[in-house]
Amino acid sequence: MSWLLFAVGLAALALGVNVLFPSRSLLGLGISFFAEWLVAELAHWTILVLGGGVVVLVALGGLDQWPGWVGLVAAAIGAVLMVTEMVLASRSGPAVARALADAGLDPPVPDRGRWRRLLFPFWLHDRRVERIKNLRYADGAGRRHLGDVYRPRGGMAAGAPVLLQIHGGGWLIGNKQQQGRPLMNRMAAHGWVCVAINYRLAPKAKMPAQIVDVKLALAWIRAHIVEYGGDPGLVVVTGGSAGGHLAAMAALTMNDPQYQPGFEAADTSVLASVPLYPPTDLMPLFTFRGKRANRVADRTAALVFGASISSDPDRYREWSPITLVTPGAVPFLVIQGSADNLVPVAQTRAFVDVLRAIPGQHVVYLELPGAPHAFEVFHSVRAEAAIGAVQQFCESVIAGLPVADADSRPGVAAAPGGADAAISPSPTDGTTATAEPG
């Protein structure tokens, strides 16, 4: 038992160190992220489980030999580090209040059921919300061109603002059901209609296929969201990680014909963008210490973008949101964790600085202390705070619009010339549109 206690203690210590100091090396990047992500957002559960294991091992004689004592001390230090992470998470609420206050906005109103969500972090259904699954927003690409609609239960929405949610996954993996669920449940419960989409993935489909699919989804929303209670002229786009990159690109390339092949005339404008932990400068994103690490990263990047950084750096600049910022950009709420080891906080700050350098540009920046990548995928203290900020920002954008007749809003008319050929309101390829509780 002493050696088992020793192993448990070292594991607790390693988890505690990693949660505060995650690795940015290419070799340890993925493992470090997953360990940090789960422990940081579930620190209370991690302490409870590991603490219970230590108590049992001590009761079974784990302190009979010296390795057990070493393990006990290591476990105690690890617990202190995890408690430190919990303290950092508790500062999320004040961070949200400061960020919104700096933008002249009130703090968010807490949503009911908070403690239940924190107690069951992976319970992602909401009885106030219904989900209509597998609606086809574009022809071809099988399930990659399907979307889900979330709306107030009972289909009570009419003329509701719309949130387009884009999943992350490094442009290589992921689907519409894995991310954004807590956010969409919150927004739909408060009267929004949310659309979560799949899109084509690399390496089979390389950039710019992903942003083209986002534009196709926006064209579908313009033409068909009224059928689900949404207002096609009130669209905000959001996403996390690679989805955040696409959300930023969508807002910075509105109606750009090069990303709308075959539906160039469709209106793909949005009112605002809410990218979460977005890669905004692609070249440094794939830069690591050491020549071997950079060669591996170069080959990996080529799987997504069609060419390596060393052979075609211009395409990485062209698809980096930080280089696409121009005067007249829509409002942005950018959210980033200070301990994100996949998207360095420095590049997110630089992106925000470029946005803020544009006269009259409205941008809110929320940096959550100690937050890892993907902190809002399931319910947590940070997720609750960030989702409240998103709701407050989005509703402020809608409230700030001038009063106008529906016909005068951009995008209310059906998508013009060429758009209908690229989109379809009905599921095909054997899929079925179904409604179920959110």
Active-site residues: which are they?
A: 241, 340, 373
User: At a CB cut-off of 8 Å and minimum separation 6, what does 180 contact?
Assistant: 165, 167, 194, 196, 238, 239, 240, 243
With beta carbons less than 8 A apart as the criterion, state whether 218 and 270 touch: yes
Count Cβ atoms below 10 Å from residue 82 Cβ, excluding itself.
24
Token digits of residue 197: 């989409």
Enter the DSSP assignment of 64.
Answer: S
Q: What Cα–Cα distance (Å) separates residue 354 from each residue in 38, 52, 225, 330, 358?
A: 32, 49, 33, 14, 7
Token digits of residue 233: 């002229």
Token digits of residue 94: 């004040």
Bridge partners of residue 51, in order along the sequence: none
Dist CA 274 CA 362 (whole Å): 12
Enter the DSSP assignment of 140.
Answer: S
With beta carbons less than 8 A apart as the criterion, state whether 40 and 85 touch: yes
Residue with structure tokens 């942005």?
332
Bridge partners of residue 138, in order along the sequence: none
Dist CA 437 CA 414 (whole Å): 29
> Is beta strand 193-197 parallel, antiparallel or unpaired with respect to 160-166?
parallel
Dist CA 257 CA 371 (whole Å): 37
Sheet containing strand 160-166, strands side by side: 363-368, 332-337, 272-276, 230-240, 160-166, 193-197, 146-152, 129-136, 434-437
Residue 27: strand, helix, or coil: coil
Sign of the alpha-carbon dihedral angle for 271, 320, 212, 141: negative
